[in-house]
């Protein structure tokens, strides 16, 4: 019996679970490798997912660089994530988990959002009243979060592992400069992606999200008036 669209969507939502994949820098050489055609197919799926995630709703045009959306997406494939992992671990002496996450993923998508009124000069020169300025920035952020979740669901539908991280070191202005990301943007999500075949790779360590089992429906109320 064929399933309804709602059942398929609900299953994708349920299947999205945080999958943190860590690889020690010293173990990078032992990682499983994939055929070039497989990598190309997965990369195309990541790009397709990002484009589809761009269908998320946004309330206000942000209009920076003539782009209406309040978000930006930056893709780092594994050659770039390996370089960033080594840069953080070997050059910067970072001993937190970011270098291991970078070494563990197949791709990293950095999603930033563009606050409009964080800059005091922008607040002062605007004709928009302060409360409305605050609402606009909240809604730029909310729209970007919708975009991130849509991306996670798209990647999940391709059977890829995902992890939405706040980014740790990757949020810092010096990392934005290193990566060429404008520093007026703020990182909302560092989405670590793992391709399906790589889930068999036991040179890596895997961890679930810390709140995986903390879910209920207690936050739903019906209002009858």
CB 140 within 8 A of CB 116: yes
CB of 213 to ligand FMN, least distance (A): 8
211 lies in the binding site for ligand FMN (CB under 6 A): yes
CB of 140 to ligand FMN, least distance (A): 15
CA dihedral 144, 180, 47, 107 (to 10 degrees): -100
Quote the CA–CA distance of 221 and 12 in Å, as a whole number. Answer: 25
Q: Which residues in the 18-57 window bind ligand FMN by CB under 6 A?
A: 18
15 lies in the binding site for ligand FMN (CB under 6 A): no
Nearer to ligand FMN, 76 or 187 (CB): 187
Least Cα distance to 114 among 193, 190, 181, 192 occurs for 181
212 lies in the binding site for ligand FMN (CB under 6 A): yes
Q: Which of 3, 17, 61, 172 binds ligand FMN (CB under 6 A)?
A: 17
25: its two tokens: 């820098």
CA angle 24, 28, 32 (to 5 degrees): 120
Nearer to ligand FMN, 46 or 167 (CB): 167
**What is the phi/psi pair of residue 6, to 5°?**
-60, -40
Tell me the CA end-to-end span of the chain in Å, nearest whole number: 41
Distance of CA 118 to the CA centre of its chain: 22
Q: Which stretch binds ligand FMN (CB under 6 A): 1-9, 29-37, 64-72, 209-217?
A: 209-217
112 lies in the binding site for ligand FMN (CB under 6 A): no
Nearer to ligand FMN, 127 or 210 (CB): 210
Q: Which residues in the 120-179 window bind ligand FMN by CB under 6 A?
A: 164-166
CB of 188 to ligand FMN, least distance (A): 7
89 lies in the binding site for ligand FMN (CB under 6 A): no
CB of 145 to ligand FMN, least distance (A): 7
Q: Is 169 exposed, middle or buried (0-12, 13-18, 19+ CB in 10 A)?
A: middle
Q: What residues make contact with ligand FMN under the rule CB under 6 A?
A: 17-18, 164-166, 208-212
């Amino acid at each position: 019996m064929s399933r309804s669209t709602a059942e398929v969507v609900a299953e994708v939502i349920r299947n999205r679970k945080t999958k943190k994949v860590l690889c020690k820098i010293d173990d990078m050489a032992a990682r499983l490798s994939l055929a070039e055609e497989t990598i190309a197919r997965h990369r195309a799926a990541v790009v397709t997912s990002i484009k589809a995630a761009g269908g998320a709703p946004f309330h206000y045009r942000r209009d920076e660089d003539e782009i209406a959306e309040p978000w930006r997406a930056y893709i780092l494939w594994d050659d770039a994530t390996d370089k960033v992992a080594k840069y953080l671990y070997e050059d910067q002496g970072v001993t937190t988990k970011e270098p291991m996450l970078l070494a563990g993923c197949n791709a990293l998508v950095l999603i930033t959002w563009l606050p409009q009124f964080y800059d005091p000069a922008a607040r002062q020169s605007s004709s928009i009243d302060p409360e409305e300025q605050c609402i606009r920035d909240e809604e730029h952020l909310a729209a970007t979060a919708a975009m991130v979740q849509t991306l996670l669901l798209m990647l999940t539908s391709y059977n890829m592992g995902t992890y939405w991280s706040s980014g740790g070191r990757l949020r810092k202005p010096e990392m934005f400069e290193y990566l060429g990301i404008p520093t007026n943007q703020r990182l909302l999500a560092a989405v670590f992606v793992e391709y399906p075949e790589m889930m068999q790779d036991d040179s890596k360590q895997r961890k679930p999200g810390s709140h995986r089992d903390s879910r209920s429906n207690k936050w739903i109320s019906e209002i009858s008036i």
